Amino acid sequence: MRISRLPAPLVRQQGGVTKDWVVLLDEDQPRPVAWRVHARFAGYLIGRLATLIDDPSALATLENRLDGEHFTMEARTLFSDIIRTARGHASRQGATRPIPPEQNGDA
């Protein structure tokens, strides 16, 4: 998943809402989905991703809900991509984050 601000020529007004961000889902697939959204929703998604990256239990909860609940195909695609993106970011950050002293015995 990628979340980016749109260049000015691609910004649209839809239903009185300025849609100036794009959420790209399944960007590694042959036909990715580009979803034009407004800034508040883009910010919300970015915040949720940050929470999932920093809190493995929140990520596990979302995965469990995705397995057990009935979601629309669109929601399932969105949540699956959020999970995949959060896992990728968490694994990259885990490789570069220092281990806190209380976790490595230096406390």
How confident is the model at residue 94, as a pLDDT?
66
Model pLDDT for residues 55-105, shown as the tens digit of each residue: 888 888 888 888 877 888 888 888 888 888 888 887 877 655 444 445 444
CA–CA separation, 106 and 18 (whole Å): 51
- Structural domain includes residue 55: yes
- Structural domain includes residue 93: yes
Helices (H) and strands (E) in the chain, counts: 4, 5
DSSP type of residue 98:
P
How confident is the model at residue 99, as a pLDDT?
46
- Structural domain includes residue 107: no
- Structural domain includes residue 103: no
Q: Which tokens in the block code for residue 26?
A: 């399944």
**Number of structural domains in the chain:** 1
* Domain with 87 in it: 2-98
Residue 101 CB partners (closer than 8 Å, separation 6+):
107
How confident is the model at residue 98, as a pLDDT?
47
Question: CB burial class (10 A; 0-12, 13-18, 19+) of residue 67?
Answer: exposed
Average pLDDT, rounded, for the chain: 82
Are residues 59 and 79 in contact, defined by beta-carbon separation less than 8 angstroms? no
